[in-house]
Structure 1
Amino acid sequence: METQGAFSTEEVRIPPQGGELVIQDVRAGTHDGFDRVVFEFSGSGKPGFIAGYSPEPRQQASGNEVEVPGQAYLELMIQGTPMGQMSEREDLVGIGPVRVSPDGGLVGAGNVAGVVHGGVFEADTQYFIGVDSARPFNVYALENPTRVVVDFQR
């Protein structure tokens, strides 16, 4: 398995193209040279996203503090996910930790300590990915099915 593009610690911004997307799954895995978190969607359009490290995880709109495992926190805003288009899976739409391990646990994979859902506001879904340190990352979208992929350099 390969990653796409270059790793960096700089903020990434990609605008959405349409977007009526519904979260279907979140998963994490460890690969040769990188750890990966995947957000899979159904629906139409291409997601936009903003990704960058946050020194203090705070929920969008409310500003409430968000508890995230790990020592560094990558904030990922996935755009094109309207509130009216919610998943039927309760574990994917509630505020808080997302179950990403194969056994349904809360842990991530490799250097990924966990993923926390911050909520949806104005069609932007907020996630925090906790890692052991501010590692270089790469974020990109894939199709068939629609996915936003975050790779962390090991």
Structure 2
Amino acid sequence: MLPAVGLGVALALAVAACSPGGTEPEPTEGSTPATPDASSPAASGTGTAEPDATAPESRGTDADPSASGDAPTPADGDFGTDPRESEGFPEALDVPAEGDELLLEDARVGGHDGFDRIVFDHTDGALPGYRVEYVEEPTEPGSGHPIEMAGSAYLAVHVTGLRPGMAGEEHGHAVLDKAWTGDSDILLETVTTSVFEGASSYYVSLDEKRPFSVQMLEDGSRLVIDVEN
């Protein structure tokens, strides 16, 4: 287990869960491509589907909620390798009510026909802000020390608006150092950090750099990332 380390919102800027076949997809809110810049033009497309926590073509186990059910819908219509971020980032999409919590509860992976999915499941009732982008290597927030992960490509998922603003495992925030052996051929490992000033980083290592899409689901405050396989 990596030490729980914090991350400020400013550092955050330096950075599934499937719908049964018969349900009508609902639009998601607040997902917009990152503003283009000279070094990293943002991809277009926002999430509109609402998958749940099941999917059929999974390589996971029966105990994995994302390993059974109907075929999922990708998070948004456009897959790409440019950064994606929520509207108004680094602000939260929906701020928790006074006294409520917004923390990471779990992360799970499933392999599907055409894409593999990782879901970051938060406590219900509010929606964090996010920015998802490829980075050269995972690093510990604050210290900048490299994080050893399998694979040759790394997605950094910077999440903001968490509450309490300083939180770790003792507060119920999931701090993970997990290898997804057998659950996905392309999503290899996940590392998450503790909350510092309302922000946390989730790293996902892949076999290679692949196009991805992102959406935030209000049902369960789930951040869903689909990666083409």
1:114 and 2:189 matched: yes
Aligned mates of 1:78, 1:147 — CA distance in 2 = 12
1:36 and 2:117 matched: yes
Aligned to 1:97: 177
Aligned to 2:140: 59
Offset from partner CA, 1:132-153 (integer Å, 9 cap, x none) = 1110011110122110011101
More strand by share: 1
Aligned mates of 1:87, 1:143 — CA distance in 2 = 24
Greater shift in the superposed pair: 110-119 or 79-88: 79-88
3-state secondary structure, aligned to 1:21: coil
Q: CA RMSD in A?
A: 2.3
Aligned to 1:27: 108
Counterpart code for 2:110: G
Shift of 1:13: 1.5
Shift of 1:129: 0.3
Aligned to 2:216: 141
Task: Label 1:89 to 1:130 Cα distance change in 2 as closer, same or farther (>3 A).
Answer: farther
Shift of 1:98: 3.1
Greater shift in the superposed pair: 106-115 or 24-33: 106-115
* Unaligned residue ranges in structure 1 (runs of 5+): none
Offset from partner CA, 1:94-136 (integer Å, 9 cap, x none) = xx5136x5xxxx6651210111113322211111100011100
1:3 and 2:74 matched: yes
* Unaligned residue ranges in structure 2 (runs of 5+): 1-71
Aligned residues: 147
Contact 1:36 1:150 in 2 (8 A): yes
Aligned mates of 2:168, 2:141 — CA distance in 1 = 18
Contact 1:140 1:148 in 2 (8 A): yes
Aligned mates of 1:140, 1:79 — CA distance in 2 = 15
3-state secondary structure, aligned to 2:174: helix
Larger radius of gyration: 2
Identity %: 31
Counterpart code for 1:141: M
3-state secondary structure, aligned to 1:151: strand
Aligned mates of 1:142, 1:91 — CA distance in 2 = 19
